[in-house]
């Protein structure tokens, strides 16, 4: 069942936890710490900002390490096995913290524990984890936490229903970049993917609340807003008869201000010409706001046979015709994609079809993944490709895209780019780092005061993954 809920900031659960954190404050002279670690995609990042919002509302104070926390929450991912193993391994390291501090509360939530076998794994093998819950109703976090405190025993909440909550408190990581979740869940059932099983069916937030959230972010000086959903192109389905993602984008563009609008992710079968037209109308240099000239369109494979087995509902021809329309309407659009190598039954010929699509589209960037078996998905029982073959194809894929990315990055040399400054470079203290509207990473020397503002940078050199320049 899917239903809309309204978060209640004065519910008995919120009040109960607040009473406990107030008692901690009385005793220790400081608020108890909360530490949240996020695995996986931006949707999870956005959910974690809501968990942090709720935790702060209940009287916790954000801390930067597990060691300083009285409450630890891990928000997990299930899209590939690697993400799950990482989360389990880090969870294992919490054993000694719980031994030192038996009052420590440890919760695990998100996509990994929305799978019954993983929920049971943690239940049985990690006895120091206090509470578990999936993705279905994340506004119920205060209830889950309060229950584990009230009952003084471990509690487990497998998903039984799926909500789309409004009125959520949110503690954002950035003051100038904001995520807005516009829909959740997926109905597509690509045969390799676990998301429809762990995130439930598609459900959209109502447009008034999304528009109000954009307005508030803009009023507070936000410079980049990213609209999030497993398939943003399905926005509005089942909620409105005649209002979809293109209409929402168009309405957001009426909220004036100097900020960029991004969105992800789009399914090629649902990306409409109407959507591309709205982007084309609102991506000019004088547009404020400006929809960025960048489109992430996951291809997954360039082989028609594999796309069919993936249940993707498009082939090379329709995908290329969509790209053709984008390039016709927005000639300098930057494109990026997701590719999976080694999907079951993939032959060398299928793989060469994927390489040829990279050459045909000439993506600016891509995210590439080695196929990972997901329990309960149709592809689990298909004929698997040997690991060595997958790895070899993966490195050839990278080689091809790296060459194209470098060639495309070199086209920036000598040009002036508008960059949203994100912070100091992690590898070079002297340098600031930011991104242009096409999501290219740009490094340049500058003062901390520029962080969170737009600047113009003249590009001097180009590498595969970044551009370097100087302020103009
Ligand atoms: N194995 C590898 N990659 C996967 N993805 C989704 N499921 C799998 C899987 N089982 C990739 C897809 C998707 C991205 C978010 O993760 O490319 O677009
Ligand atoms: Fe997974 Fe396909 Fe849904 Fe994307 S569209 S979340 S790949 S099932």
Q: What pLDDT shows up at residue 215?
A: 98
Half-sphere exposure of 250 (CA within 13 A, CB side): 12
Asked if residue 78 has its Cβ within 6 Å of ligand 1, the reply is: no
pLDDT digits (tens, 9 = 90+) for 333-380: 999 999 999 999 999 999 999 999 999 999 999 999 999 999 999 999
- Distance (angstroms) between ligand 1 centre and the Cα of 236 equals 24
pLDDT digits (tens, 9 = 90+) for 16-51: 999 999 999 999 999 999 999 999 999 999 999 999
Task: Read off the pLDDT of each residue in 162-181 and give the average, rounded to a whole number.
Answer: 95
Asked if residue 188 has its Cβ within 6 Å of ligand 2, the reply is: yes
- Distance (angstroms) between ligand 2 centre and the Cα of 203 equals 14
Asked if residue 298 has its Cβ within 6 Å of ligand 1, the reply is: yes
Strand partners, 179: 226
Statement: residue 200 has pLDDT above 80? yes
Ligand nearest to the CA of 190: 2
Statement: residue 2 has pLDDT above 90? no
- Distance (angstroms) between ligand 2 centre and the Cα of 15 equals 38
In this structure, are strands 290-291 and 260-264 parallel, antiparallel, or unpaired? parallel
| Residues 214, 217: Cα–Cα separation, whole Å | 5
Q: What pLDDT shows up at residue 3?
A: 79
| Among the ranges given (3-12, 105-114, 179-188, 334-343), the one the predictor scored with the smallest mean pLDDT | 3-12
Locate the ligand 1 atom nearest the alpha carbon of residue 41 and give its number.
15
| Residues 338, 82: Cα–Cα separation, whole Å | 17
Among 138, 200, 187, residue whose Cα is nearest residue 165: 138
| Residues 337, 297: Cα–Cα separation, whole Å | 5
- Which mutation among 42, 111, 191, 192 tests ligand 1's pocket best, with the greatest number of atoms within 8 A of CB? 192
Are the C-beta atoms of residues 443 and 426 closer than 8 Å to each other? no
Asked if residue 369 has its Cβ within 6 Å of ligand 1, the reply is: yes
Atom 7 of ligand 1 has which residue's CA nearest to it?
Answer: 193
Q: What pLDDT shows up at residue 237?
A: 94
- Residue 202 tokens read as 């598609």
| Residues 4, 164: Cα–Cα separation, whole Å | 5
pLDDT digits (tens, 9 = 90+) for 46-79: 999 999 999 999 999 999 999 999 999 999 999 9
pLDDT digits (tens, 9 = 90+) for 317-332: 999 999 999 999 999 9
Please tell me which residue, 15 or 160, carries the higher pLDDT value.
Answer: 15
Are the C-beta atoms of residues 324 and 294 closer than 8 Å to each other? no
Asked if residue 105 has its Cβ within 6 Å of ligand 2, the reply is: no
Statement: residue 80 has pLDDT above 80? yes
Task: Read off the pLDDT of each residue in 184-204 and give the average, rounded to a whole number.
Answer: 96
- Distance (angstroms) between ligand 1 centre and the Cα of 381 equals 17
- Distance (angstroms) between ligand 2 centre and the Cα of 190 equals 6
Asked if residue 334 has its Cβ within 6 Å of ligand 2, the reply is: no
Atom 1 of ligand 2 has which residue's CA nearest to it?
Answer: 193
Among 115, 243, 272, residue whose Cα is nearest residue 182: 243
Statement: residue 409 has pLDDT above 90? yes
Q: What pLDDT shows up at residue 4?
A: 84
Asked if residue 301 has its Cβ within 6 Å of ligand 2, the reply is: no
Asked if residue 340 has its Cβ within 6 Å of ligand 2, the reply is: no
**311 pLDDT band (50/70/90 cuts)?**
very high
Domains, the chain, in order of start with CATH, read 4-164 (3.40.50.12160), 174-292 (3.30.750.210), 304-309+316-410 (3.30.750.200), 416-471 (2.40.50.140)
């Amino acid at each position: 069942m899917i239903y809309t809920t309204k978060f209640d900031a004065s519910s008995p659960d919120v009040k109960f936890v607040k009473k406990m954190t107030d008692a901690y404050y009385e005793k220790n002279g400081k608020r108890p710490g909360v530490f949240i670690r996020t695995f996986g995609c931006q949707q999870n990042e956005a959910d974690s900002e809501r968990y942090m919002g709720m935790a702060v509302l209940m009287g916790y104070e954000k801390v930067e390490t597990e060691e300083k926390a009285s409450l630890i929450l891990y928000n997990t991912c299930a899209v590939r096995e690697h993400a799950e193993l990482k989360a389990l391994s880090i969870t294992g390291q919490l054993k000694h913290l719980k031994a030192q501090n038996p009052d420590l509360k440890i919760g695990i939530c998100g996509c990994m524990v929305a799978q019954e076998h993983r929920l049971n794994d943690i239940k049985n093998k990690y006895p120091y984890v206090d509470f578990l819950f999936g993705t279905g109703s994340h506004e119920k976090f205060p209830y889950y936490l309060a229950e584990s405190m009230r009952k003084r025993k471990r509690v487990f909440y497998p998903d039984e229903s799926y909500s789309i909550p409004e009125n959520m408190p949110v503690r954002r990581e950035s003051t100038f970049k904001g995520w807005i979740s516009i829909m959740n869940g997926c109905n597509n059932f690509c045969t390799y993917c676990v998301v429809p099983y762990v995130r439930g069916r598609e459900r959209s937030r109502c447009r008034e609340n999304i528009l109000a959230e954009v307005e508030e972010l803009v009023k507070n000086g936000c410079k980049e807003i990213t609209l999030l959903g497993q398939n943003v192109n399905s926005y509005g389905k089942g909620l409105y008869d005649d209002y979809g993602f293109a209409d929402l984008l168009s309405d957001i563009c009426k909220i004036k201000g100097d900020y960029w609008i991004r969105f992800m992710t789009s399914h090629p079968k649902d990306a409409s010409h109407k959507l591309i037209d709205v982007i084309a109308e609102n991506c000019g240099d004088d547009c404020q706001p400006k929809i960025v000239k960048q489109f992430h369109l996951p291809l997954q494979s360039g082989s028609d046979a594999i796309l069919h087995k993936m249940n993707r509902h498009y082939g090379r021809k329709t995908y290329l015709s969509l790209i053709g329309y984008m390039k016709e309407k927005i000639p300098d659009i930057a494109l990026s994609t997701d590719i999976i190598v080694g999907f079951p039954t993939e032959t060398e010929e299928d793989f060469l079809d994927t390489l040829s699509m990279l050459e045909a589209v000439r993506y600016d960037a891509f995210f590439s993944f080695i196929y990972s078996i997901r329990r309960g998905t149709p592809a689990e029982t298909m004929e698997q490709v040997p690991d060595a073959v997958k790895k070899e194809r993966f490195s050839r894929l990278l080689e091809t895209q790296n060459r194209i990315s470098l060639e495309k990055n070199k086209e920036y040399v000598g040009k002036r780019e508008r960059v949203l400054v994100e912070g100091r470079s992690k590898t070079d203290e002297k340098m600031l780092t930011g991104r242009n509207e096409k999501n290219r990473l740009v490094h340049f020397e500058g003062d901390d005061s520029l962080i969170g503002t737009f600047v113009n940078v003249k590009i001097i050199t180009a590498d595969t993954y970044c551009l370097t320049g100087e302020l103009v």
